[in-house]
Structure 1
Amino acid sequence: MRLFPSLFALFLIVPLVEIYLLIEVGQVIGAPLTILAVVGTALLGAVLTRYQGMVTVTRFYGQLARGELPGFTLFEGACLLVAGALLLTPGFFTDAVGFALLTPPLRAWAYNRLRHRLEVRTWSPPPRDRGGPGSHGGSGSTIEGQFRERDRDQ
């Protein structure tokens, strides 16, 4: 299972990158402006995520009302959820990734890449027996009736 080492590396590397960037930016612009920048990006990200989320929810319900499958819209909603979480996480690296997920062209590109990489398998039941020689009816319906037993001798 290759997922565990990847997640471990992600949870180890991302905070280290964030700490490094916060220290570097803090040395250049100072601690108060660094804190203001982190809080400002979180607020801006929350506003943008909320707006795009409302648009996506409206599009989702419109597609359902028209009988369309909202596959891309659901993917966009998931991207916006991740973007919102990343933008609320303090740090410049997570903010950059979060703002990137807020751009519709990037989401469309990621959706197309993911769609082409996934193989969709469907299952359908085997065809029903439509009757014929040796068949047991096959239609699934019950036929009411009466019967009478006769001896072979008669």
Structure 2
Amino acid sequence: MFRFLFLLFLIVPLIEIYFLIQVGEVIGAGWTIFLVVATAVIGAGLLRMQGLSTMQRAQLTLAQGQVPALAMMEGLALLISGGMLLTPGFFTDALGFLLLISPVRQALIKRMMANGQFSAHSRTGETFRQKEDGHIIEGEVVDNNDEDRHLK
């Protein structure tokens, strides 16, 4: 994981610099800076709308008595998208805008959840992983009343 993050922090800035230079040569430095700032402003507005929509879906799911797992994961994806949109550059902006598209975001989240790539940690240090192994244990719930336990 450390190696992946190291490569990510090394390669992404190089890609951004390359794109900034290429676009700057074609349209000029001033317009390039304008585009970088404009994509950040537009992205922030779109992110706000998507975030409010996701929060409403989470509240609706909670009102139905369910855990809003998908909405929470969408919120995390939107947070990552916001970070990408606020990072100056065209490559991260493109990735950030892709994550703002709801069907793309949901497909990515569902794929990652299906692969079991998420885990949670409790305060006691326990780790819970979502894993889909296909094994189903069938059973039946038997409700024993207190009356049955006492001798008469």
* TM-score, length-scaled by structure 1: 0.75
Partner of 1:47: 45
- 1:1-154 paired onto structure 2 within 5 Å: 3-118=1-116, 120=130
Aligned partners of 1:89, 1:40: CA distance in 2, in Å?
Answer: 12
**1:126 match:** none
- 8 Å CA contact 2:57, 2:71 repeated in 1: yes
Shift, 1:77, TM fit:
0.5
Which runs of structure 1 show a deviation greater than 2 angstroms over 4 or more consecutive aligned residues?
none
Larger mean CA deviation between 66-75 and 42-51 belongs to 66-75
Q: Which runs of 5+ in 1 are unaligned?
A: 122-129, 131-138, 140-154
Give the total of aligned pairs.
Answer: 121
Residue deviations 1:97-139 (CA, integer Å, cap 9, x gap): 0000001111121122112111636xxxxxxxx9xxxxxxxx8
> How far apart, CA to CA, are the structure 1 residues paired with 2:85 and 2:97?
7
Runs (5+) with no aligned partner, structure 2: 117-128, 132-143
Displacement of 1:45: 0.2
CA RMSD of aligned residues (A): 1.5
**Structure of larger gyration radius:** 1
Q: Which amino acid aligns with 1:53?
A: G
- Looking at structure 1, the residues matched to 130 and 82 of structure 2 have their Cα atoms a distance apart, in angstroms, of 29
Is the 2:80–2:96 contact (alpha carbons within 8 Å) kept by the matching residues of 1? yes
Q: How far off is 1:7 after superposition?
A: 0.5
Within 2, Cα distance between the matches of 1:111 and 1:46? Answer: 21
Give yes or no for contact 2:113–2:130 (8 Å, CA) kept in 1: no
Q: Distance in 1 between matches of 2:77 and 2:25?
A: 33
